Structure 1
Amino acid sequence: MTQQQRPVALVSGVGRRAGIGAAIVQTLARDGWDVGFTYWRPYDDRMDWGRDEEALAAVSAAAEAHGARVHAVEADLALPETPEEVFAAVREALGDVRVLVMAHAESVDSSILDTSVEAWDQHFAVNARASWLLVREYAKGFAGPHGAGRIIGLTSGAVVNNLPYGASKGALDRLMKAAAVELRDLGVSSNAVDPGPTQTGWMDDNLATYISEHTPLGRTGVPTDCAELVAFLCSDRGGWINGQVVNSDGGFNAAR
């Protein structure tokens, strides 16, 4: 596949080399996509894992090694104007976007009694509102062949003691189902993917052992597990799957 023939994918939430978003960028590049991606360093700065200073260069280089053109956009998705700005930047750099993969998230643990209004609003601004606005912007500009478009949102079944994250991801699930029907005239499929517990650096040894022992396939998930499923859904072979929440968790949820 020549560079001119490559379709364009946009992946949001690619802040760290250890993250699922980075694995998705590299896997799509391997499969023949040019890739735009977003990142937001201030989010990583306030999380326990901290900023990955090498992520931008390393993720871009890994994708380019597969022959992909790459364009990165620093984007605060808590702002309502950001999705339109992201699409404008990626379209200018790479062309029309055929695939939208939303791997971004606000995720800070809190429960019913200790979640603040500010935290609730932040989670819904990033996980729900920004996702809706990204989907809307994608649909407004979609120019691909009927049946070739894909929208994928990464979701989660976590909600206990992680209330605003889980509730806002529930809103994302409903958005994906709505898009599967409302965008039918464009021939765009829309699905949510739940990666299950995935080791991206946030699990300590005790938690990783617990997850492994409670997963039928006997290990924690790794970012490439989810990335391979996303790549399949983006391919011609995955085009008939539509309006679904697909688990990629080694059976973890089935065993609970």
Structure 2
Amino acid sequence: MVKKIAIYGKGGIGKSTTVSNMAAAYDKDTFVIGCDPKADTTRTLVGKRIPTILDTMKENKSPNLDEILYQGFNNTLCVEAGGPEPGVGCAGRGVIVAMKLLDKLSAFDSNPDLVIYDVLGDVVCGGFSVPLREEYADEVYIVTSGEYMSLYAANNIAKGIRKLNGKLGGIICNCRNVKDEVEIVSEFASLISSKVISVIPRSELVQQSEYNACTVLKMFPESDQADKYRELVDTIVNNDSFSTPTPLTMDEFESFFHKYVS
């Protein structure tokens, strides 16, 4: 059975790093679909930025699958939906167009064992609900740190998941070395009826790998950081515990966060 998951989180929180390293750590057939307009999810898997579906379709309205689908590290299949220039057009349009084209070209007929959607979670646009709304993804995981805006975005994502009747599989704490970070994120997860499934430490190995357009798994395969990503993807692949999130009201969120900064 194909495992189809969507990874959501605030822009810049480390979603793409998490997704690419998860894919690199998984030894079965994996398909990564970048739904972030920055189109950088697959850079470290392929070793360069790949053309997005939107950009390709500007030149060719009916591209072939081999014009949009690239093979990355560990035989991972990679696609970038793409998006408009900042401030121009709907950022979610690329997601909608990409999914329609991938369906038309039977891109999923290869029957990958794991499909991962990397979805930006702080853009208010219907296009970003596509993986859940159209049932491309069966499970959702939220990446957050212990920072205010990251958790604020995570709470908003939880609202969207609840509205779409999505299944929340857990919270990934991508550390920024905030004081009491794991405690903060763990309490937040509990308050929204979820749990922390992984704590990814902040590591200079991530930056070094990304400078070289590589995953940590490729550049530092024997590192503790690489093992963290292996543990994460194993946890997700074997997870069968899900919840309907109970997002906090704004007052509840402020009250929760205030006690850690007072």
TM-score band, normalised by the shorter chain? Answer: 0.3 to 0.5
TM-score between both structures, scaled by the size of structure 2: 0.46
TM-score between both structures, scaled by the size of structure 1: 0.47
